[in-house]
Homo-oligomer: A and B are copies of this chain.
C-alpha cells in the first residue's frame, strides 16, 4: 500500500506514527510531494485519514476483487446473453391468484424470461398495503411450476428466507442494498441475486454490495440500475444511464435497468426503458399489472399488458439495432 502526501508536506510525522504502531514504512520523494510505501492491513486506511498530510491512499488491490474478476455464466432458460434482451416482468404486488396465473401465461407467451412479483412489501408508510406475504409467495411458486417461468421475488428480512427456498432469483430491493446482514444470508443461499442500486449509493458502494453477495456464495448477480435521488422530482427517481457503461467497464456481471421505479408514472416507463437499452443495458425489469387501477401498490407506474406489449416490441427493436453495430454490449 502507498500513501500519497499533500504537496510540500514532510513525511516525518506520519512515519513516526506508523513506526510507533509497529508498521514498516518507507518514504519516497515525488517532486514536491512524498509517497510512503507501507505494509497494510485491514484497518490501516481509516486511521491514516486522520493525518491531514495524507492526500490519498493507494491500495494494492481493487476494493471489489470478486466483482471485478467474475467470469461466470448466467443460466436462465430461453435467454442467451448478448443475443437477446433479458425481460423480467410482473405485478408490483401479487394480489390475486387467478390474475397472477393468467398474467404469467401471457408474459411467457410473449417471450418474457422471468416473472417478478411482490409478496412482502417495503412501504414508506405503515398505513400502506404491506403485501400479502406468505400466500403471495405460494401463488408465485404455483405460477412457476404450472407455467414454467422462473421467478424473481424481493426478500426483505432474514427471517423470511426459509420461505424462499424455491425462488429462482432473490431480489435485493433498492432500500436493502446496504442491509449487509441480509446480503450475507442471501449470499449464503448460493442463489442468483438481482441487486438494485440504492438511490443514494455511489457506483462503488453498489459494487461493494455485490462483492458481499459473491463473497458469501452467490453464483451471479444481476446489477439493476433503478434511479437515484436528485433535486429533480418530475420523474420519481433519476435513471443514471451513465452508470450502465461505467459499471460495464468494471465487471462482466450483467447490468439491467428498472424503468418503472425510476419513472414513477406509466407514461415515462417506455422512454426510460428505451433509454436504458440505448445506454447498453442487457435487460429490463418492468412492472406489469392486468388492471393497474385496481393495484394496491405502484398503481401509477405499472403498465397494462397492452402497454407492455408495445414496449416489448420497441425495446427489442432498439436492442437489435444496437446489436447490429456492436460486437459486445458496450
Contact = CB atoms under 8 A, between A and B. Distances in A.
Contacts of A240: 230, 232, 238
A12 to B, nearest CB: 16
Nearest to A310: B325
A178 to B, nearest CB: 4
Interface size class of A (residues with CB under 8 A): 35 or more
Given A50-B299, A208-B126, A313-B325, A242 B238 contact: yes
A129 to B, nearest CB: 6
A172 to B, nearest CB: 12
Contacts of A293: 17, 21, 47, 50
Interface in A202-228: 202-203, 205, 208, 211-212, 215-216, 228
A280 B270 CA distance: 10
Interface in A265-308: 265-268, 271-280, 292-300
A245 B122 CA distance: 29
Interface of A: 1-2, 4, 7, 17, 21, 28, 30-33, 35, 37, 42-43, 46-47, 49-50, 52, 56, 58, 60-63, 120, 122-129, 156-159, 175-176, 178-182, 198-200, 202-203, 205, 208, 211-212, 215-216, 228-235, 238-246, 249, 262-263, 265-268, 271-280, 292-300, 310, 313-314, 317-318, 320-322, 324-326, 330
Given A7-B58, A47-B292, 16 more contacts: A1-B31, A2-B30, A42-B129, A47-B294, A122-B181, A124-B208, A126-B212, A157-B181, A175-B179, A228-B232, A232-B240, A245-B271, A249-B267, A274-B279, A310-B325, A318-B321
20 contacts: A28-B28, A33-B58, A43-B299, A47-B293, A50-B292, A63-B127, A124-B205, A125-B211, A126-B212, A126-B216, A156-B181, A202-B234, A230-B231, A235-B242, A235-B246, A241-B272, A242-B272, A275-B278, A313-B325, A317-B324
